């Protein structure tokens, strides 16, 4: 084994220090001689740590250029062969030191990122804490009001029971007395049987006088008696109601319960939408990024995890630079502004008058609501696809929650219903007898035929044998100029096909949109509009895949062309907006202010008749609205 003791370069005695400039080792005496020269005063000296007890410790400090990861020591080339011959994990110190500036820079950069995340987490916690306090206060006030009304109602009901007993007791006594009086009157009038023709005149006169007395008495009794005791009871109840107003308490209680329900729904929608913003599962018709990354048949590329993370980072940075003209600002870490804009007294009280009147209202002529939940439905309907046929006489609907296709007459009669093995999502009308239906998870589109059945006198729906494969999760579908437009996820793209399923061309959307929801075509310009809840925007692209339009919306879903270069957009958080498409950024023209229209999902506009059809998520109602000029 080589000695761990270094010798003086002059006398070969044990060295104490090494000179980095001269590359020499010195003992104490020759060190003093070395330091006597003024030119050597600036030389860098290194104290030699003698550790003979460690067999892997190299004492050649000036020549140490290797780091042994196994023993955690520095070593020179000579000692490596003897001390670390069995070690296969060494690092070149020189190369590592070259990375020092980059490592330091990266550490500071990562530290800034962590500080930003920590600040975001702190702000998110504060926002959530404040939100919780608001909810707690709101619900507590509502519950206190409920308890007060329940106590008041209990007191009034108790009074009502006592009053009812009193009324019944009094009426029973009155009726008993009346029964006795009427019995006496009836008995008195029995004298009529005594009046006979062969009686003496004196007896007849006496009997007649007696009978007239009984008639007068019975007439007085009839004037004072209760003819209808139930009417009397009803009058007493009206007096009690006027005094205690029990019905008013019932109404207040119902309003209070409805307010609690809406407050609770607001909390649930907040958590639901925030969970969807960070969830990759397709539990709702929102086209959320799915975890299904299986290879498609046409071998379309799928992003790897690194690329996805980089895109998420870039997307987040781009969003932070955008100025979104919404009233509630978006929190990048918690999405606190995702509270549903509910058109209720409780919600509108939190909005300023200027905010509500910021945009003009779209004129509405008439409005009617049609219930579309059938007896066989196990869940509340969620109509995510809708098409109007035969001059709006019939509506074809895709019920996402119940996995059904429904055909309703606009009068409310169910014509036909089909249970589907896969979940249908969106519809596109080809003509009055042909509808396109997309099935996102099955990655296919089917053609639905509508026929008249003579035997039943009703319309029937049947699927055509043709199946159009999309090889991707198809979310939005539209039909224009004998072409099918399909917005897909994983990969993100727009497929343009003919009616035979032949792919004409593909528009790559990886850089354009993250989560395609619905799609609409401008028939005047051919621009394709896509709603993207992830980017919180309506994206417009031409047939070459160039982005020509982007309009900011909090939670965009259904959209439909409204004529005059305008677009109607369904926003889950704030209702239905009218957007002018004249410029690339779009401009907000007006709002369709509908009462209790929460989470509008699919909208279809009949340009010729100016009728708008609106569906809502988790609501078994379809609205038909006749609009005025706008």
Read off the pLDDT of each residue in 607-626 and give the average, rounded to a whole number: 91
Question: Left if phi > 0, otherwise alpha if psi is -120 to 50, otherwise beta: which for 332?
Answer: alpha
Give the pLDDT confidence score for residue 147 in this predicted structure.
85
Helix (H, G, I), strand (E, B) or coil at 452: strand
Give the pLDDT confidence score for residue 580 in this predicted structure.
93
Read off the pLDDT of each residue in 503-516 and give the average, rounded to a whole number: 88
Give the pLDDT confidence score for residue 605 in this predicted structure.
95
Topology of domain 359-627, CATH? Neuraminidase (2.120.10)
Cα separation, 367 vs 496, in Å, equals 36
Q: How is residue 387 written in tokens?
A: 């098409």
Cα separation, 110 vs 164, in Å, equals 78
Specify whether the CB–CB gap between 65 and 92 falls below 8 A.
yes
Longest alpha-carbon distance in the chain: 181
Q: Given this chain, do its domains 17-101 and 359-627 carry the same CATH topology?
A: no
Whether residue 494 is predicted with pLDDT greater than 80 in this model: the reply is yes
What is the CA angle 565-566-569, rounded to 5?
Answer: 150
Read off the pLDDT of each residue in 353-372 and give the average, rounded to a whole number: 72
Whether residue 363 is predicted with pLDDT greater than 90 in this model: the reply is no
Q: Taken in order 306, 307, 312, 318, is the CA torsion positive or negative?
A: positive
Cα separation, 607 vs 392, in Å, equals 11
Q: What is the DSSP letter of 208?
A: H
Q: Per mean pLDDT, which of 156-170, 207-221, 363-377 is the most reliable?
A: 363-377
Question: φ and ψ at 68, to 5 degrees?
Answer: -90, 115
User: For 1-15, how does the pLDDT look when each residue is reduced to its tens digit (9 = 90+)?
Assistant: 445 567 888 888 888
Kindly list the distances between the CA atom of residue 13 and the CA atoms of 6, 26, 506, 598, in Å, as whole numbers in the listed order: 8, 8, 82, 92
Give the pLDDT confidence score for residue 297 in this predicted structure.
38
The set of residues, in sequence order, having a beta carbon less than 8 Å from that of 116 and lying 6+ positions away, is: none
DSSP secondary structure string for all residues of 129-142: HHHHHHHHHHHHHH
**Window from 49-58, 120-129, 186-195, 349-358 with minimum mean pLDDT:** 349-358
Read off the pLDDT of each residue in 137-155 and give the average, rounded to a whole number: 84
pLDDT higher for 183 or 195? 183
pLDDT higher for 185 or 621? 621
Q: What is the DSSP letter of 578?
A: E
* Antiparallel, parallel or unpaired: β 473-480 and 483-489: antiparallel
Residues of the chain with pLDDT > 90, as a percent, come to 27
Band (pLDDT 50/70/90 cuts) for residue 305 is very low
Whether residue 310 is predicted with pLDDT greater than 60 in this model: the reply is no
Mean pLDDT of the chain: 77
Read off the pLDDT of each residue in 108-135 and give the average, rounded to a whole number: 87
C-alpha of 142 from chain center: 24
Band (pLDDT 50/70/90 cuts) for residue 445 is very high
Topology of domain 17-101, CATH? Double Stranded RNA Binding Domain (3.30.160)
Band (pLDDT 50/70/90 cuts) for residue 127 is confident
pLDDT higher for 517 or 202? 517
User: For 418-444, how does the pLDDT look when each residue is reduced to its tens digit (9 = 90+)?
Assistant: 999 999 999 999 999 999 999 998 999
Q: Taken in order 420, 426, 428, 429, is the CA torsion positive or negative?
A: positive
Helix 201-224 / helix 100-188 crossing angle, nearest 10 deg:
170
Kindly list the distances between the CA atom of residue 64 and the CA atoms of 7, 15, 61, 80, in Å, as whole numbers in the listed order: 17, 17, 5, 10
User: For 465-484, how does the pLDDT look when each residue is reduced to its tens digit (9 = 90+)?
Assistant: 999 999 988 999 999 999 99
The set of residues, in sequence order, having a beta carbon less than 8 Å from that of 296 and lying 6+ positions away, is: 471, 472, 491
Give the pLDDT confidence score for residue 16 in this predicted structure.
79
Read off the pLDDT of each residue in 72-98 and give the average, rounded to a whole number: 75
User: For 240-268, how does the pLDDT look when each residue is reduced to its tens digit (9 = 90+)?
Assistant: 665 666 667 777 778 788 888 887 777 77
Give the pLDDT confidence score for residue 560 in this predicted structure.
95
Whether residue 348 is predicted with pLDDT greater than 90 in this model: the reply is no
What is the CA angle 619-620-622, rounded to 5?
Answer: 95
User: For 87-106, how does the pLDDT look when each residue is reduced to its tens digit (9 = 90+)?
Assistant: 777 777 778 888 888 888 89
Give the pLDDT confidence score for residue 558 in this predicted structure.
94
Helix 229-244 / helix 100-188 crossing angle, nearest 10 deg:
140
Whether residue 179 is predicted with pLDDT greater than 90 in this model: the reply is no
The set of residues, in sequence order, having a beta carbon less than 8 Å from that of 361 and lying 6+ positions away, is: 590, 591, 592, 593
- Overall residue count recorded for the chain in this entry: 630
Cα separation, 595 vs 576, in Å, equals 12
417 beta partners: 406
User: For 548-591, how does the pLDDT look when each residue is reduced to its tens digit (9 = 90+)?
Assistant: 999 999 889 999 999 999 999 999 888 899 999 999 999 998 88
Domain ranges in the chain are 17-101, 121-254, 359-627
Helix (H, G, I), strand (E, B) or coil at 78: helix
Give the pLDDT confidence score for residue 229 in this predicted structure.
60
- Spell out the SS3 assignment of 460-486: EEEEEEEEEECCCEEEEEEEECCEEEE
Whether residue 282 is predicted with pLDDT greater than 70 in this model: the reply is no
Give the pLDDT confidence score for residue 317 in this predicted structure.
45
Whether residue 43 is predicted with pLDDT greater than 90 in this model: the reply is no
The set of residues, in sequence order, having a beta carbon less than 8 Å from that of 174 and lying 6+ positions away, is: 226, 229
Whether residue 293 is predicted with pLDDT greater than 50 in this model: the reply is no
């Amino acid at each position: 084994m080589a000695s761990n003791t270094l010798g003086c370069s002059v006398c070969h005695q044990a060295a104490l220090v090494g000179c980095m400039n001269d590359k020499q080792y010195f003992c104490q005496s020759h060190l003093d001689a070395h330091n006597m020269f003024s030119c050597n005063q600036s030389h860098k000296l290194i104290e030699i740590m003698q550790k003979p007890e460690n067999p892997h410790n190299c004492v050649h400090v000036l020549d140490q250029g290797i780091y042994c990861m196994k023993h955690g020591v520095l070593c020179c080339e000579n000692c490596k062969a003897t001390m670390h011959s069995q070690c296969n994990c060494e690092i070149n110190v020189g190369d590592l030191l070259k990375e020092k500036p980059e490592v330091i820079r990266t550490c500071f950069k990562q530290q800034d990122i962590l500080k930003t995340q920590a600040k975001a987490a702190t702000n998110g916690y504060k926002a959530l804490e404040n939100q919780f306090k608001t909810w707690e206060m709101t619900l507590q006030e509502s519950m206190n009001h409920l308890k007060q009304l329940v106590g008041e109602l209990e007191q009034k009901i108790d009074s009502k029971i006592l009053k009812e007993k009193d009324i019944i007791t009094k009426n029973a006594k009155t009726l008993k007395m009346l029964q006795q009086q009427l019995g006496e009157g009836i008995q008195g009038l029995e004298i009529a049987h005594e009046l006979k023709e062969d009686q003496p005149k004196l007896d007849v006169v006496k009997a007649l006088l007696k009978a007239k007395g009984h008639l007068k008495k019975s007439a007085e009794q009839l004037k004072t008696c209760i003819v209808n005791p139930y009417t009397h009871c009803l009058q007493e109840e009206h007096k009690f109601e006027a005094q205690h107003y029990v019905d008013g308490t019932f109404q207040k209680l119902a309003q209070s319960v409805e307010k609690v329900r809406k407050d609770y729904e607001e909390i649930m929608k907040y958590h639901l939408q925030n969970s969807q913003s960070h969830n990759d599962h397709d539990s709702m018709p929102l086209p959320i990024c799915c975890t299904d990354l299986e290879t498609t048949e046409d071998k379309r590329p799928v992003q790897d995890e690194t690329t996805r993370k980089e895109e998420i980072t870039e997307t987040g940075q781009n969003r932070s630079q955008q100025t979104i003209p919404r009233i509630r600002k978006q929190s990048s870490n918690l999405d606190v502004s995702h509270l549903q804009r509910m058109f209720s007294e409780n919600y509108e009280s939190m909005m300023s008058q200027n905010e509500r009147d910021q945009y003009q209202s779209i004129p509405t002529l008439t409005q009617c609501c049609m219930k579309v939940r059938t007896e066989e439905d196990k869940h509340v309907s969620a109509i995510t696809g809708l098409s109007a046929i035969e001059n709006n006489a019939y509506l074809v609907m895709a019920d996402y929650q119940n996995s059904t296709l429904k055909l309703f007459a606009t009068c409310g009669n169910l014509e036909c219903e089909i249970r589907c093995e896969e979940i249908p999502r969106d519809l596109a009308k080809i003509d009055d007898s042909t509808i396109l239906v997309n099935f996102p998870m099955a990655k296919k589109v089917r053609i639905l035929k509508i026929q008249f059945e003579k035997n039943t006198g009703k319309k029937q729906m049947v699927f055509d044998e043709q199946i159009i494969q999309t090889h991707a999760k198809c979310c939005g579908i539209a039909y224009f100029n004998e072409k099918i437009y399909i917005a897909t996820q994983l990969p993100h793209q727009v497929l343009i096909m003919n009616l035979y399923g032949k792919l004409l061309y593909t528009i790559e959307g990886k850089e354009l949109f993250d989560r395609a929801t619905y799609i609409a075509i401008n028939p005047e310009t051919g621009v394709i509009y896509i709603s993207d809840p992830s980017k919180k925007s309506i994206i417009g692209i031409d047939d070459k895949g160039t982005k020509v339009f982007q309009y900011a919306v909090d939670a965009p879903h259904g959209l439909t062309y409204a004529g005059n270069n305008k677009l109607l957009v369904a926003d889950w958080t704030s209702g239905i907006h009218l957007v002018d498409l004249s410029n690339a950024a779009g401009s907000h023209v007006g709002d369709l202010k509908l009462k209790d229209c929460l989470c509008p999902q699919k909208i279809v506009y009949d340009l010729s008749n100016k009728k708008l059809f609106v569906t809502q998520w988790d609501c078994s109602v379809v609205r038909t609205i006749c609009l005025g000029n706008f």
